[in-house]
Amino acid sequence: MSREYLKKATLTAQSHASEVHDTVKTILADIEAGGDAKAMEYAAKFDKFEGNVLMTPEEIEAACARVPEKLKADIRFAQDNVRRFAEAQKATVSDVQLEIVPGFIAGQKAIPVDAAGCYVPGGRYSHIASAIMTVTTAKVAGCRHITACSPPRPGEGVAPAIVYAAHISGADSILAMGGVQGVAAMTYGLFGLPRANILVGPGNQFVAEAKRILYGKVGIDMIAGPTDSLILADATADPFVVATDLVSQAEHGYNSPVWLVTDDRDLATQVMEMVPTLIADLPELNRDNAAAAWRDYAEVILCADREEMAACSDDYAPEHLTVQAADLDWWLERLTCYGSLFLGEETTVSYGDKATGTNHVLPTSGAASYTGGLSVHKYMKIVTWQWATREGSKPIAEATARISRLEGMEGHARAADVRLAKYFPDENFDLTADE
């Protein structure tokens, strides 16, 4: 298939990754060895905050009181949507059991992890929605203890709206600590917190790398890179809406890729002309981020037809995938690799990022080719169990003994032999691996 790049990225999400890895590895090792004191040392250096690290109930109450009632209503609206969607997800997971052979029962149980650590970005932007997305789903899953961790601002602490969102969503503790030190504190159980069984939530490249390095010592939602978004648009799409949506996602950060894939050259040309003007009209921080992301990471790809567009999208496996094209049912059936899908002009990634109920913690950097985003299921362990009568274990034991011997695992075979000998002493069994 031929794909014409009308705009080609000069950098990728993996650019400069090795420098970040070395820095994060050093910080994690220092904090693991030095505990609370070393974490506080890094917090003083990076967070520049001198207040309580673990917020008291009184501090949480005071922060919540500072949130305007109008914003509280919006946060409650979004949190209710996320909670109801998470509850619907949880209903899809059930305990099951099956009689494998008469008298031998095997089953499945879904058990929530004990402690969840939810990272909520608060640096460039106050990610109120991330507090809702991560804490609410952990609460619905049934986690016993949930820590929300967010960077404090010098002299202010954690943004009051983040505190309010985390509090009403069910956080048991709120940790005023950012970056690698915050992730480490939850992982190692510092400041009297329980050790997290799973770390979730978005963050900058340092937070993402900390989670990647710690994976195995602790569970994580996914290995994440910078947020990315792809729009599939045909001749029926509104170029201004397409351009606006691209810019809205590019403002996330200087290294946040956005991609337009289309089969209409005129649409592509119009969008490319509009984007710089839309970026220039943003506030300074947003403008600088979006300008760098568009300059260095954005791509505009022209395809022959919608099938080639879909194939191109699946190759990119974007975190956010928007379709602004005719015949939305066809696209829903055809597309297979994305974190979250937004069908039609009437919805947008911004809706999913903030308030629709679907989770905005999603796979990036092509990970959508093999995993989905954060959900109730990520906080739950699917475990199995079995129980048998003596008669029910009989055919299982025979097969186990013979298969084990064929594999050369005599110890396994004898664990089956001993049960057959004990339960059926008057019977003879052929337990060899011979023909």
Nearest to 321 by CA among 361, 348, 290: 348
What pLDDT score was predicted for residue 346? Answer: 98
What pLDDT was estimated at residue 17? 62
pLDDT more than 90, % of the chain: 92
Residue 2: predicted pLDDT: 79
What pLDDT sits at residue 16? 58
Q: How confident is the model at residue 224 (pLDDT cuts 50, 70, 90)?
A: confident
Residue 388 in 3-state DSSP?
strand
Q: Is there a contact between 334 and 321 (Cβ–Cβ < 8 Å)?
A: no
pLDDT at position 372 over 60: yes
Annotated ligand binding at 353? The verdict is yes
Active-site residue set: 319-320
Is residue 227 pLDDT above 60, yes or no? yes
Indicate whether 13 pLDDT > 90.
Answer: no
417 pLDDT band, cuts 50/70/90, is very high
Selection from 326, 357, 321 nearest residue 341 by Cα: 321
pLDDT of 374 strictly over 70:
yes
Structure tokens at 289: 């981020």
Residue 305 is assigned to a ligand binding site: no
The reported pLDDT for the residue numbered 396 is 97
CATH homologous superfamily for the domain 17-92+103-221? Nitrogenase molybdenum iron protein domain (3.40.50.1980)
Would you state the pLDDT for residue 89? 97
320 is in an annotated binding site: yes
360 is in an annotated binding site: no
- In a 13 Å sphere around the CA of 358, the CA atoms on its Cβ side amount to 15
pLDDT at residue 257 tops 60: yes
User: Any known ligand binding at 407?
Assistant: yes
Confidence bin at 19 (pLDDT 50/70/90): confident
Neighbours of 427 (CB within 10 A): 9
227 annotated among ligand-binding-site residues: yes
Residue 123 has what pLDDT?
73
The domain limits of the chain are 17-92+103-221, 226-372, 389-434
Helices (H) and strands (E) in the chain, counts: 15, 14
Each residue of 301-348: pLDDT tens digit? 999 999 999 999 999 999 999 999 999 999 999 999 999 999 999 999
131: confidence class by pLDDT, cuts 50, 70, 90:
very high
- Confirm if 135 and 169 have CB atoms less than 8 A apart: yes
What was the pLDDT predicted at 258?
A: 98
Question: Measured in whole angstroms, how far is the alpha carbon of residue 317 from the centre of its chain?
Answer: 15
Amino acid letter for position 360: H
Q: Do domains 17-92+103-221 and 226-372 have the same CATH topology?
A: yes
- In the predicted model, what is the mean pLDDT of the chain? 95
Mean local confidence (pLDDT), 98-112 = 97
For range 107-126, the mean pLDDT: 92
Q: Which residues contact 191 (CB under 8 A, 6 or more apart)?
A: 36, 39, 53, 54, 175, 185
pTM for this predicted structure: 0.93
Question: Is 324 annotated in some ligand binding site?
Answer: no
Closest by CA position to 139, among listed 376, 377, 382: 376
Write down the architecture of domain 226-372 according to CATH.
Answer: 3-Layer(aba) Sandwich (3.40)
* pLDDT the model gives residue 421: 97
CA–CA dist 81, 204 (Å, integer):
26
Place of tokens 């397409």: 242
The band of 377, judged by pLDDT with boundaries at 50, 70 and 90, is very high
The pLDDT value recorded for residue 125 is 72
What is the pLDDT at residue 14? 63
119 annotated ligand binder: yes
Please indicate if the annotation marks 79 as binding a ligand: no
pLDDT value of position 433: 81
pLDDT score of 223? 85
Decide: 372 and 215 in contact? Cβ < 8 Å: no
Torsion angle of the four alpha carbons 31, 60, 71, 279, in this order, in degrees rounded to the nearest 10: -20
pLDDT digits (tens, 9 = 90+) for 145-177: 999 999 999 989 999 999 999 999 999 999 999
Q: What is the pLDDT of residues 42-89, one digit of tens each?
A: 999 999 998 899 999 999 999 999 999 999 999 999 999 999 999 999
